[in-house]
A and B are shown apart, each in its own frame.
Chain A
Amino acid sequence: MSQSLNTAAIGMRTQQSKIDTIANNIANVNTAGYKKSRIDLKDSTYSQLNVREEATNNNLLVGSGAIIAGQTKFMEQGTIVPTEINTDLAISGDGFFALENLNGEIEYTRHGALKTMRVEGVNYLVDSTGNFVLDRNGNRIKVNFPTEQIMINSLGEISDGENDSIAQIALYNFENAAGLNQIGSNKYSPSLSSGLPLLAPQQEQNIINGHLEMSNVDLTEEMTQLMQAQRAYTFLSRAITTTDNMKSIENDIRR
């Protein structure tokens, strides 16, 4: 009897994680550069039912619920919206900006709301949380003119609009971007399954200046998924109630 109680409980927990993921997607519907995730389920192990007499076939298996098979990340492009700010960059197509954080580690992001930050008397190009944006040689980008004059062309070359470019922002690609580790604040780090970062070919960088890439969350789809998960959750709680009723009948077998 406790089999069906356990099955229902495990199923409910799994639906709960599904709802958690959907809630996170919905919460980030307006986060620039956010990529949605999905939880996939699989059926848990099967065990042989206990039969006393020779049955027609020996395929008498009963399952023990549903568990999480894995998380899938959707790396497809979000909508690109104009912001009219000269340091807002959106990447069209594949690619990630490389950022050096305060500990010197390299992280990757598609969130291109950049600004300048003054460190020890030098202006550096940084992202919204103060990590240094790197150029194609892996160096921090020094900007020796006012922020308002920054011009960034589609290849990522930075200039003041009059003189030659001072640096070119680097874009990196990954063999399997869906396998990147998500480390929060819209940033990713390479993992075994994503492969190593590969510098994009110089002429193939495609950066759109004055725009930001929004999240790729589709609210309608998330709501549908949420409703499905919630229904499944309700049905499982009904299964628990029924099992509980049966247990109490069993208890009162002589009454």
Chain B
Amino acid sequence: MSQSSLIDSSLTGHLILWSALGLSILSCGTGLLAVRRRGLQLAEMAKRGLVATTVLILSANLLLLAALISRDFSLFYVASYTSRSTPRVYAFSALWAGMEGSLLFWTLTTSLFAAAAVGFRKISSPLIPGATAVLSAILAFFLGLLVFGADPFSISSPIPQDGGGLNPLLQSPFMTIHPVMLYLGLTGFAVPFSFAISSLIAGRQDVHWFTSTRRWTILAWSLLTVGILLGSAWAYSELGWGGYWAWDPVENASLLPWLTATAFLHSMMIQERRGMLKVWNVGLIIGTYSLSIFGTFLTRSGLLSSVHTFSESPVGKYFLPMLGLILVGSFALLGWRLDRLRSERQLESMLSREAMFLFNNLLFIGIAFTVLWGTLYPILVEAIEKTRISVGPPFFNAVVTPIGLALLGLTGIGPMVAWRKPSVTTLRRQLALPLIAGTATVLALAAAGVRSAGALFAMSLCSFVAVATIAEFAQGARAHRGPGPFGYISGLRRVVGRNRRRYGGYVVHLGVVLIFLGLSGSAFKQTWTGELKPGESFEIGTFKVQYVSSNIRVTDEKMINMAIMQVSENSKVVKTLRPQRNFHLQQRQPQSEIGLMSTLSRDLYLVLTNMDRERSVTIKAWVNPLVAWIWLGGVVMTLGMIVIISGRPPRPQTLRAQDSVKASAPLQPKEQVRV
């Protein structure tokens, strides 16, 4: 690297960040002024400022990316996370592999969401100036962090010949996508948050703040869901411990905003339809955004250690005041506007859609509180008693499993129940088929020899919900069926096409059922650990696994120890698995590559933990039933999300069409449209 390029990237980077910081502060101030004076020109300026800030942030990211790809080791960040032997695609993902780069990238995703949600909208729409101010303030905070706390453009001196390289655990296709999804999801909640704050500032009491940002909220939620699922798929296929979710504090940090956001997606329907829960909804979106900031704080504070945390850094101390400001500021604003956010109606029946949503919210928040408490409890105890304790997965499993199953049950019942005061007889009729399916499942599984009460219950609940959800589709198709033999299919197409949000939601529910089915398989997990000489074998579940031979190779990057394992079932060879234990020469770190045979009924998962000089191997093996259904459920959920997002924003007609399907509870005309 020449001396001139050294000065260039670093100096240019700093210049861009500083100007973006200045511009974001300016557009925040202009936005606030526009709110105060109701000035359209000021609002336009603020909006343009936000878009320009986004362009600057984007160019800072591109600059760092270019430096990473050209391996410009004059930048300390580049030298820390790439080396000459790092494959190009992973040099790309090194942008978010380190603390400084990931913050820069986090700022980028926030700004892209902000510019997209605000930039293409008419400034005359009333919430824009306030939202612009809030979003600019958020960007200003992160830009300040980049300028003062975590500089991605600092110079390395002396310039090293080669860089440190990317951690081999991060060199996985999952790791190129998973953080991107997660970041987009977490930062996307800035949009509904900023509109909620803007609505509070303006003292409005309508639903405009979330109806006009709903697609962004759903998009953010979808990306977060996919990000979390990809993260657990990465843990399962890369970390080699046979599991996919460990209740690690950082996993929890991504789950927390997901839980409150999911509660919000459901409860905003009550406000939209019935004018209830206004304060609660604003509270939920404030909570969701705060939790997503809290998550970034946890991973960067050095407060806890996990496989996902970045190294300790001074950045943590900036986050707490930011979090405090968001919480205190937002809730103070909410308190100030409390009198304007009265419920327009009250609950009319315990067996109404409203009540189902309320219980849904209660349970989601219950899980969120459990996860938050379990994550923070060790920190609190250490601070108060000075003893260090740990809260393990048994705690989370014991509390979250029953609440999760109750929620699953609601997933089945909720959509059957109409708004306001449904008739009990209709509900009873709708419940019959799902109940029969659930009972039949218990009997069939018990007859097949399943004895775990928890798994029996979970699986029968899964079939109850699946049948109830499919019945919703069937009912809709019948109500809209056309003539001829394919009338039902055209009816299904028509009803789904007209109510994408609703039926897309049901598809997401079906995905959730599949995920629960996969999770319940963990009750039948089997494991085996032992040492094998070449030719020896062991049995696990219905499999016989033989250690046939070994293979040792050395490449530029790593030394590969591979065990060739032949898997047979019923004395027939079904597959050869090749678990590896590799030693990365540059990072001087071992890394396991698992041997995995995945089928719909079960996974066989082999980890090579050691190979000695006589070529004896130590193998840890798992049989994980039904795990594939988790990933399948994730795919189904994603399809559902695509259906939801592809729908047009609801028009009054669409709302009415939704009601005509629910024949049991006709709404009063004046209540049908609440936009």
Q: Do A and B come from one complex?
A: no
Chain B positions within 8 Å of A, measured between CB atoms, are none
